């Protein structure tokens, strides 16, 4: 049986980039979100026999891997008792840049990712799970703001990213990867990650724009409107300066509290 690992973290934090990179390893096959949830829910999928390690990119389930019932608003797949102690690669990105990326991604002529995805998911999670109690103060602040999109993004990021600390407290084999480190120093980050997954180092991990990828849309992009031919670069670091006002930045940092700094300190 193939070894398994998960790639997760808040959406818009670099999980797709890491998927593209990791599937360049000759021993690894990574399922992106069009397939990963279906496979984990029991559907079969043929994988080349030489791929002895299977990765599953599942940011939709980032906060509930340890739950008895694993689900998310807007996808049909649900799983009971999913987690079996497999390695977890957890992406972390500055909350301000994550929200900026959510705001940049248009889902329709009138809605961004914050409106189309984050808002209904947040509503469902906080009505139907203990998150509504755990983050009650933050939820009240979002509602008092008139459902400010940036505060919706901040709270969405907070409950997703808090899962990293929960998993570490439980002693799960979780390897945190900071987006800013991955794009500025890819080789040392990826070498450490390979060691954590008991994979040999392979230089093809640095060549993802040149190699073929799975789950590519007709327009040449992959999940999240990501261009698989784009090389790793740092142009999206501190993009929040163009997308958030000073008042919005202050409100976001106030809502997430110390977690933005604590999560960065947890990076291996």
Contacts of 223 by beta carbon, 8 Å cutoff, 6+ apart: 16, 19, 32, 33, 34, 57, 215
- Using pLDDT thresholds of 50, 70 and 90, give the confidence band for residue 1: confident
pLDDT at 46: 92
Q: What is the pTM of this model?
A: 0.96
pLDDT at 267: 66
- 200-257 per-position pLDDT tens digit: 999 999 999 999 999 999 999 999 999 999 999 999 999 999 999 999 999 999 999 9
Q: How far apart are CA 213 and CA 190, in angstroms?
A: 18
Q: Is the pLDDT of residue 2 over 90?
A: no
Nearest-Å Rg of the Cα atoms of the chain is 18
- Using pLDDT thresholds of 50, 70 and 90, give the confidence band for residue 262: confident
Q: How far apart are CA 138 and CA 152, in angstroms?
A: 10
Q: What is the mean pLDDT of residues 119-129?
A: 95
Q: Is the pLDDT of residue 266 over 80?
A: no
Q: How far apart are CA 78 and CA 56, in angstroms?
A: 15
pLDDT at 263: 74
User: What are the chain's domains?
Assistant: 3-265 (3.40.50.300)
CA angle (113 as vertex; 109, 116 as ends), nearest 5:
75
Q: Considering only CA atoms, which of 212, 214, 213, 208 is closest in space to residue 230?
A: 208
- 45-88 per-position pLDDT tens digit: 999 999 999 999 999 999 999 999 999 999 999 999 999 999 99
Contacts of 212 by beta carbon, 8 Å cutoff, 6+ apart: none
- 162-188 per-position pLDDT tens digit: 999 999 999 999 999 999 999 999 999
Contacts of 120 by beta carbon, 8 Å cutoff, 6+ apart: 73, 74
Q: Is the pLDDT of residue 155 over 70?
A: yes
């Amino acid at each position: 049986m193939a070894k398994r690992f998960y790639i997760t973290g808040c959406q818009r934090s670099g999980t797709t980039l890491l998927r593209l990179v990791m599937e360049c390893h000759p021993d690894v096959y990574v399922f992106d979100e069009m397939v990963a949830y279906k496979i984990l829910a029991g559907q079969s999928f043929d994988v080349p026999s030489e791929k002895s390690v299977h990765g599953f990119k599942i940011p939709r389930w980032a906060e509930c891997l340890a739950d008895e019932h694993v689900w998310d608003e807007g996808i049909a797949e649900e799983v009971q008792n999913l987690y079996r102690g497999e390695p977890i690669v957890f992406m972390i990105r500055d909350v301000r840049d994550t929200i900026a990326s959510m705001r940049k991604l248009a889902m329709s002529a009138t809605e961004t990712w914050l409106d189309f995805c984050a808002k209904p998911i947040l509503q469902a999670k906080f009505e139907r799970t203990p998150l509504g109690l755990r983050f009650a103060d933050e939820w009240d602040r979002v509602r008092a703001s008139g459902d400010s999109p940036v505060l919706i993004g901040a709270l969405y990021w907070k409950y997703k990213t808090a899962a990293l600390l929960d998993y570490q407290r439980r002693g799960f084999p979780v390897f945190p990867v900071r987006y800013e480190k991955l794009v500025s120093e890819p080789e040392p980050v990826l070498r450490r990650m390979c060691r954590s997954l008991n994979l040999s180092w392979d230089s093809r991990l640095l060549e993802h724009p040149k190699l073929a990828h799975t789950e590519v849309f007709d327009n040449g992009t992959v999940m999240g409107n990501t261009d698989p031919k784009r090389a790793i670069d740092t142009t999206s670091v501190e993009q929040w300066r163009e997308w958030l006002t000073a008042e919005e930045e202050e409100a976001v940092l106030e809502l997430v509290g110390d977690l933005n700094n604590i999560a960065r300190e947890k990076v291996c």
